[in-house]
Amino acid sequence: MNLGFLASHNGSNMQAVIDACRAGRLAASPVVVISNNVDSGALERARNERIPCFHLSGRTHPDPGDLDREIVDVLLEHDVNLVILAGYMKKVGPVTLATFPGHVLNIHPGLLPDFGGRGMYGRRVHEAVLAAGAGTTGATVHVVDAIYDNGPILAQTKVEVKKTDTADTLARRVLALEHELYVETIDRIIRGEIKLT
């Protein structure tokens, strides 16, 4: 299976998946990385791994429709079967969703459907979990559709929220879970244990 990544910042989840591919844990190949941030750590990671990478954003394609089509063109040129969002801070366009129906995945640093939706990402999720006094949190892998954090849930993992937790300590523990959950979920898809539409 050929994996294409969309990432905006550091790309640590992407790196976890790439490492699993390189180690033979995943029967998959990371074939392309696209970032909307020209200075992202994800692009640097891709260059270090010798994976083709591209900066595609509103700066390179001011028209959103043109940007969406260019992203699809790059993914198709690299024979991508599964699109992996790894901290991608932009809404996935309708052409991308139509070209890869049910085959665009995201990982969310919380237990959806709670603490999801527009504007709920990264530290904001952990702050909301703490503000709500939730006893557990975790990570969710889901299929991406036209609504933020709305698509079918494929897998979740949980962690206890400690009374001493801050948004930063919670973020670190959840991120470690994300790395494992993403790899495990992609492996289950490859093995046919999880069926995508």
pLDDT truncated to tens, each residue of the chain (197 aa)?
A: 999 999 999 999 999 999 999 999 999 999 999 999 999 999 999 999 999 999 999 999 999 999 999 999 999 999 999 999 999 999 999 999 999 999 999 999 999 999 999 999 999 999 999 999 999 999 999 999 999 999 999 999 999 999 999 999 999 999 999 999 999 999 999 999 999 98
pTM over 0.85: yes
81's tokens: 């079967």
- 């539409």: which residue's tokens? 197
Among this protein's residues, is 126 annotated catalytic? no
pLDDT value, residue 128:
97
**Up-side HSE of residue 120: CA atoms within 13 Å toward CB?**
21
Which residue out of 103, 108, 142, 179 is catalytically annotated?
Answer: 108
17's tokens: 């998946």
What's the chain look like in SS3?
A: CEEEEEECCCCHHHHHHHHHHHCCCCCCEEEEEEECCCCCHHHHHHHHCCCCEEECCCCCCCCHHHHHHHHHHHHHHCCCCEEEEECCCCCCCHHHHHHCCCCEEEEECCCCCCCCCCCCCCHHHHHHHHHHCCCEEEEEEEECCCCCCCCCEEEEEEEECCCCCCHHHHHHHHHHHHHHHHHHHHHHHHCCCCCCC
Identify the bridge partners of residue 34 per DSSP, sorted by sequence position.
Answer: 6, 54
